[in-house]
Amino acid sequence: MAGYSFLQGAFILLIAGLINRFLGFGYQIAIIRLIGPEGVGLFNIVFPVYIMMLVLASAGIPLAIAKLVAEEVANNNIPGAYRIFKLSLFILLITSLFFTVVLIIAAPILTESYFPNPRVYYCLISLVPGIIIVTLCSAFRGFFQGLQQMSPTAITQTIEQLVRVVSGLVFAYIMLPLGIEYAAVGLSVGVILGELTGFVLMLRIYANYRPIALHYVPGSWRKIYHLGNSMKKIFTLAIPVTLTRIVATALMSIQAVLIPQRLQVAGLSIEQATSAYGQFIGIAEALLFMPGVLTMALATSLVPAMSDAIAANNLALARSRILDAVRLTLQVGVPAAFIFLLLADELCGVLFGYVQAGAILKVLALSGPFLYLQQTTTGILQGVGKADVPFKNLVASSLVCIMGIYYLTAVPQLGMGGTAAAVAIGFIIMPILNMLHLFKMGLFTLSARENVLKPLVAALGMSLLIIYTKKIMYGYGIHDGLVLVITLLAGGFTYLVLMQITGGINDQDRQKFGMLFKFNRR
């Protein structure tokens, strides 16, 4: 059963992720209909600043908790796991209080000098309590993640999202008569109430279901030694993780400023440039990231799974888990790329009402499998204690991406196509660098036949069916929405059948997933 634990954890997080995505998608539709794009825009102006404060306050420590707790549990040292957790919780309390004060002091300055609309002040201030709540809750999630118990994280995230959706809609509706800016405050209140509910539930789960540890009190000098050693371990992993997240957040901020500017150089008006960027970030990338629900679940589960395998010096188990993760990633990523390529116009038109965004999605499509591998391989490297490697590789890929955006977006013949190409190249570079490092470590050898060829053959067969089905249905004048549904269902079924025929899904896979579903029925 231990061999399947990370797949079980990934499955639990996947189900929670799908539920949360469904709730979030419905929430977006309802909010836009209730308060309009302006109110949503006011909220999204301040939300990246809030996320940056959370990144700085958490400082990568929750992931360090997950890894180090997994190592202590692998060595059957539960008291050591609690020592890591309690020390980390204390550090996070200090950092969250510090950045809460920083944001309170900075809010008026940001409103006057940075934000383009001064009406966002109350919306930003309403988010301030979330810094302490989310940061402390992340410590408990990291603790259970280290125990390879993903249910607490999945349950609390789902309840948190549900409360956020309901309370956000209710408060936005109640406060709308006061003005759009107060309706946006209602969204912030919904976020805080959701996070608070998730935190309270997590505390209850911790109180009732945490493992029992034998009390162990070392002598004063040993206690100081353990404290110093634990802090060294925590920050050795936490610092590169924090830097990685800061770079990722900074890259999004740079893109948000640079892309519209370079589109104007290409000849678009500011309104056209803003609209084009909105289609890129809000439609094309949103669709491209959808399969990432699986890879993010895998990445989260892989950190403790790899940590305990390495701590137990079980390289065979580590290699097996890496192979499973990469195979699953490509089994989802390869067909997703072909679907985005062949059904881009229908997806963007039917779901969002902007067929023209399909051209952007087509350029991004083939980088999809690399994007998903980026998430999976980052989780693997963090799990084996090489968190600095994804940071360095992200910096390298980000520099290439920014340079590509700067030069390609300004070419009138390319425009947003150039932007999409630059971003796609960035997505491709990082996982390749990650995998090269895993090759050097001797933890992974890519089997082109098993990992690439079989999913590719099945995806090509699926593609032929999609092309043929589309041609017939459009010949009869069938609506785009029905074409999209039928081709997706037929294509997905064909892909699964071809994977069975080619051996892409083998007896070992069926056994593992049989164990997984048996586990989750208990």
Q: What is the spatial distance between Cα 17 and Cα 515, in angstroms, rounded to a whole number?
A: 21
Amino acid at 103: L
Cα three-residue angle 108-109-113, rounded to 5 degrees:
120
Q: What is the spatial distance between Cα 263 and Cα 412, in angstroms, rounded to a whole number?
A: 8
Convert 273-291 to b/e letters by CB count within 10 Å (16 or more is b): bebbbebbeebbbbbbbeb
- 460-to-215, 339, 342, 498 alpha-carbon distances in Å: 59, 10, 11, 10
Q: What is the spatial distance between Cα 327 and Cα 446, in angstroms, rounded to a whole number?
A: 10
pLDDT confidence of residue 364: 93
Instruction: Give the rounded percent of residues in the chain with a pLDDT score beyond 90.
Output: 18
Amino acid at 395: V
Residue range 345-394, pLDDT digits in tens: 888 888 777 788 889 999 999 898 999 888 888 878 877 778 788 888 98
Span 120-145, average pLDDT: 88
Residue 358: how many other CB atoms lie within 10 Å: 23
- 262-to-45, 237, 271, 411, 415 alpha-carbon distances in Å: 21, 37, 13, 9, 8
Estimate to the nearest angstrom the gap between the alpha carbon of 155 and the chain centroid.
Answer: 17
Q: For 209-225, give the DSSP string.
A: HSPP-------HHHHHH
pLDDT band for position 298 (50/70/90)? low
Per-domain residue ranges for the chain?
1-216, 241-446, 458-522
Tallying the residues shown for the chain, one arrives at 522
pLDDT confidence of residue 520: 44
pLDDT confidence of residue 149: 78
> Is a pLDDT exceeding 70 seen at residue 102?
yes
Span 403-415, average pLDDT: 88
464 φ/ψ sector (left φ>0, alpha ψ -120 to 50, else beta): alpha
Residue range 52-83, pLDDT digits in tens: 888 888 877 887 788 788 777 777 778 878 88
- 449-to-316, 410, 446 alpha-carbon distances in Å: 21, 40, 9
> Is a pLDDT exceeding 90 seen at residue 201?
yes
Q: Which two tokens stand for residue 223?
A: 């206690």
Higher pLDDT, 304 or 344: 344
Q: What is the CA radius of gyration of the chain?
A: 24
Q: Are 446 and 455 in contact (CB under 8 A)?
A: no
Residue range 233-260, pLDDT digits in tens: 666 666 776 777 777 777 776 776 677 7
pLDDT band for position 404 (50/70/90)? very high
Which of 123, 106, 120, 16 lies closest to 56 in space, CA to CA? 106
Q: What is the spatial distance between Cα 45 and Cα 113, in angstroms, rounded to a whole number?
A: 13
Residue range 441-455, pLDDT digits in tens: 877 776 666 677 888
Question: Whole-structure pTM over 0.75, yes or no?
Answer: no
> Is a pLDDT exceeding 60 seen at residue 432?
yes
Q: What is the spatial distance between Cα 93 and Cα 11, in angstroms, rounded to a whole number?
A: 31
Span 93-103, average pLDDT: 92
Q: For 351-385, give the DSSP string.
A: HHS-GGGHHHHHHHHTTHHHHHHHHHHHHHHHHTT
Amino acid at 476: Y
pLDDT confidence of residue 99: 92
